[in-house]
């Protein structure tokens, strides 16, 4: 109970899983949420519990206000939350010209509205110097011909996070955004060998990013060495996109 608490949404797989592992190593107990993939989340909890940290996975659909409300009364909230990572999200490739309002609403409800709902719900349970990192995307700045709804949701998320950073800075709280480029997660799992080689060639550092690359950046933004950084968007993409 003496360890600080980190809340990570979408923490069961990919980038979220790497963030949970890194923050547990940094000294946090981990409260992670998942929506559809319970087995990877529970396996991660077991892995973290094998170290000096504690962890717990809870099922939360961040687009569902009722489930988010339940998160707000979870017993761990009594311990207070020191750091928050908003990592949950949905992404489905769809040509921008074929985007429907239904698809747009679904993506926005999860990626953007869900983030705001989580923040609003857990805000009363934050420590005075709480820090938050929002996982955005380079697509939220440059757009995407096959993911316009995803790009729009990440753009809204980034602007909201920067606005929130300005609003709560006087309280001693910090909010920053990490915008990944190509990362070796489920989103790229359907790539052919040729497509993977093409992606690697596009990146100046000549490799696809790893979830651990993102996790180490999140760790920095939540730690004391970034104490004078808030409202920033940090692009982590191997030089692929330089806004």
Neighbours of 198 (CB within 10 A): 11
The active-site residue, picked from 150, 182, 228, 241, is 150
**235 and 138 Cβ atoms separated by less than 8 Å:** yes
Asked if 58 and 76 count as a contact pair (C-beta separation under 8 A), the reply is no
Helices and strands (H, E) in the chain, number of each type:
9, 7
Nearest to 18 by CA among 221, 228, 216: 216
- Is 41 within 8 Å of 16 (Cβ atoms)? no
Q: Say whether 150 is catalytic.
A: yes
φ and ψ at 236, to 5 degrees? -120, 90
By annotation, the residues acting in catalysis are 150
């Amino acid at each position: 109970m003496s360890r600080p608490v980190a809340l990570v949404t979408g923490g069961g797989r990919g980038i979220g899983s790497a963030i949970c592992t890194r923050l547990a190593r940094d000294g946090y107990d981990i409260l992670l949420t998942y929506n559809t993939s319970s087995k990877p989340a529970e396996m991660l909890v077991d892995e973290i519990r094998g170290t000096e940290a504690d962890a717990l996975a809870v099922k939360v659909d961040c687009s569902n206000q009722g489930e988010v409300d339940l998160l707000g009364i979870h017993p761990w909230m009594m311990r207070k939350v020191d750091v928050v990572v908003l990592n949950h999200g949905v992404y489905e490739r769809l040509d921008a010209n074929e985007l429907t309002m239904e698809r747009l609403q679904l993506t926005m409800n999860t990626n953007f509205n869900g983030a705001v709902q989580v923040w609003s719900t857990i805000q009363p349970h934050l420590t005075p110097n709480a820090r938050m990192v929002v996982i955005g995307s380079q697509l939220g700045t440059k757009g995407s011909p096959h993911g316009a709804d995803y790009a729009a949701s990440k753009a809204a998320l980034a602007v909201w996070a920067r606005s929130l950073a300005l609003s709560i800075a006087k309280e001693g709280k910090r909010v920053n955004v990490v915008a990944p480029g190509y990362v070796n997660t489920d989103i790229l799992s359907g790539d052919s060998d040729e497509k993977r080689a093409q992606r690697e060639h596009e990146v100046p550092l000549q490799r696809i990013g790893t979830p651990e690359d993102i996790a180490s950046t999140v760790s920095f933004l939540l730690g004391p060495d970034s104490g004078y950084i808030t409202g920033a968007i940090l692009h982590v993409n191997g030089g692929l996109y330089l806004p």
